[in-house]
Amino acid sequence: MMKKYIACLLAAILLLTMLPASASAEGGMQACHRVTAKYTDSKQSNKSGIRLWSVKTALTSVDDEINGLAQAYADKIAPTLQAGKANGDKNSRLDVEIRHSKTGLTWMSFLVQARTTYHRDLIAQEFTSRTFDMTTGERILLTDIFPEGSEGWTILREKLEAQINYYFPDETPDPAAVAQVLSDEGLRNLDFTLHGMSLVIHLSADAFYPEHHTLIETTLFYPDIREYMTEKAQIETDNLSYYKTVALTFDDGPTRTNSTKVLNSLMEVGAPATFFMIGKNMKPYADLVQRAHDEGHAVASHNWTHGDARKISAAALRAMPEKVNKALISIIGIPTRYDRVPYGVYPAMIKAKVGWSYIQWSVDTYDWRGRSTSLIMSKTKKKFTDGDIVLMHDIKDNTPNTAKVMAEWLYEQGYILLTVDELFAKDGVTLEPDTVYFRCDDGVTTIKK
């Protein structure tokens, strides 16, 4: 017992000595993590459109590098855009986006993405990533996370190979491309970003599946890999020591206007989310499903229709996973493992043995009533606790602004925002079939009292 106590004490001392002088595990967002993100829209003479994002961070050197990468994509791709046939959303378009995420007390990641669409179909995508220590400007590489000879490299290689083959299950990936990315050199040069509870590797699907331009996202949750990291990386990924956790979720989409605005709001504040989408709406709004996935959000099921599951036959309920996953795979390449039942009537799904895991919520914003952002915030601020799952609806007019304001407020209250997958992974909770989950607070997933 004494040896264990001494070991814990030494670990705590090591942690304190490696933290920057300005760091604090209490309170709101770290000053070095603050980001202002915005975009500008422009139209070319051939009626193609360009949206260019930019960021302002705590370090001018980071701003110059990240914004320079975004501008370089715009300069390179803009002359190649096809002419638009008419004004409107179905035009030829380039979106140069900048995703940002934070971990620990000083590290931040950025993913600069250039997404080219024509009549809303994604026809090309390029990207590059950067991770920095935001107190020094030092760039963080994968070799700064996994030391040479670490078991982490083996785990990464195995996870990558499995994930590449998991995408587009009816197709076979290019074996030469797979071999190249799994080589020692390929692993060291991977694009990656760090998040609240995960390291994510980003690959272009078209490198392995030429007809698909979405991203292949390979997620390694910190609890599974931290012991194989460098000491500095272990400190910068020990987010449960610094922050409370919460997951924002959105139901009923996608829809053209408000779902787009919600995605823009989340991009501005660097917040990940989980979207529970209605299956039959996925194909008509495939570009939004793909955008949500490619911007790092989790995409899950909200049943095939928004009907009351209590009034649908058991056979029809059991047929839903195949229908939903067929739609999802055709758009983003992967199925979903979990569902949120419309109106929260999960007992009917469990009784029918549909086989999904069911994600409920512990904080209801009641945005579905058309409440204003100020009213929602005034009524929910005192409800938040560690491990909460927040219910919102991306089809509602006020929700885009509410999502932004709420995310900013949560950051200032010392929360880090996670996807549903990250929320449960932080405590080692495995989502089981025909089981319902309301939150995840130190492994407790039951209704919050």
DSSP string for residues in 119-136: TTEEEEEEEEEEEEETTT
Q: Could you tell me the CA-to-CA distances from 230 to 152, 196, 237 in Å, in that order? A: 10, 18, 11
* pTM given for the model: 0.94
Residue partners of 133: CB distance under 8 A and separation at least 6: 106, 107, 140
Buried b or exposed e, range 58-77, using 16+ CB within 10 angstroms: bbeebbebbbebbeebbeeb
Q: What is the pLDDT of residue 89?
A: 64
Mean pLDDT score across all residues of the chain? 94
Residue 210, φ and ψ in degrees, nearest 5? -55, -20
Q: What is the pLDDT of residue 282?
A: 98
DSSP character at residue 84: P
Angle at alpha carbon of residue 250, lines to 99 and 371, rounded to 5°: 115
Series of mean pLDDT values for 10-residue runs along the chain (449 residues): 39 45 60 98 95 99 99 99 77 96 98 97 98 99 98 99 98 98 98 99 98 98 99 98 98 98 99 99 98 99 98 98 98 98 98 99 98 98 98 98 99 98 99 99 96
In CATH, what number does 26-240 get?
3.30.565.40
Which among 278, 355, 281, 369 is positioned nearest to 318, based on CA atoms? Answer: 355
The distance of Cα 44 from the centroid of its chain, to the nearest Å, equals 31
Q: Is 429 exposed, middle or buried, given 0-12, 13-18 or 19+ CB atoms closer than 10 A?
A: middle
Which structure tokens are listed for 58? 């705590």
Q: What is the pLDDT of residue 85?
A: 76
In sign, the C-alpha dihedral spanning 328, 330, 334, 335 is: positive
Contacts 24+ apart (CB under 8 A), 151-154: 151/228, 152/225, 152/228, 152/229, 153/187
Q: From CA 126, how far away is CA 77, in angstroms rounded? A: 10
Contacts 24+ apart (CB under 8 A), 22-31: 22/135, 23/105, 23/106, 24/105, 25/105, 25/241, 25/242, 26/414, 27/414, 28/411, 28/412, 28/413, 28/414, 29/411, 29/412, 30/102, 30/105, 30/106, 30/134, 31/58
The CATH class of the 243-437 domain is: alpha beta
Q: From CA 197, how far away is CA 178, in angstroms rounded? A: 26
Taking each helix axis from N to C end, the angle separating 320-332 and 286-294, rounded to the nearest 10 degrees, works out to 70
Domain boundaries for CATH 3.20.20.370 within the chain: 243-437
Q: What is the pLDDT of residue 90?
A: 72
Residue partners of 320: CB distance under 8 A and separation at least 6: 279, 301, 303, 304, 339, 354
Q: What is the pLDDT of residue 157?
A: 99
Domain boundaries for CATH 3.30.565.40 within the chain: 26-240
- Tell me the H-state helices in 36-124: 60-77
Q: What is the pLDDT of residue 109?
A: 99
Q: What is the pLDDT of residue 70?
A: 99
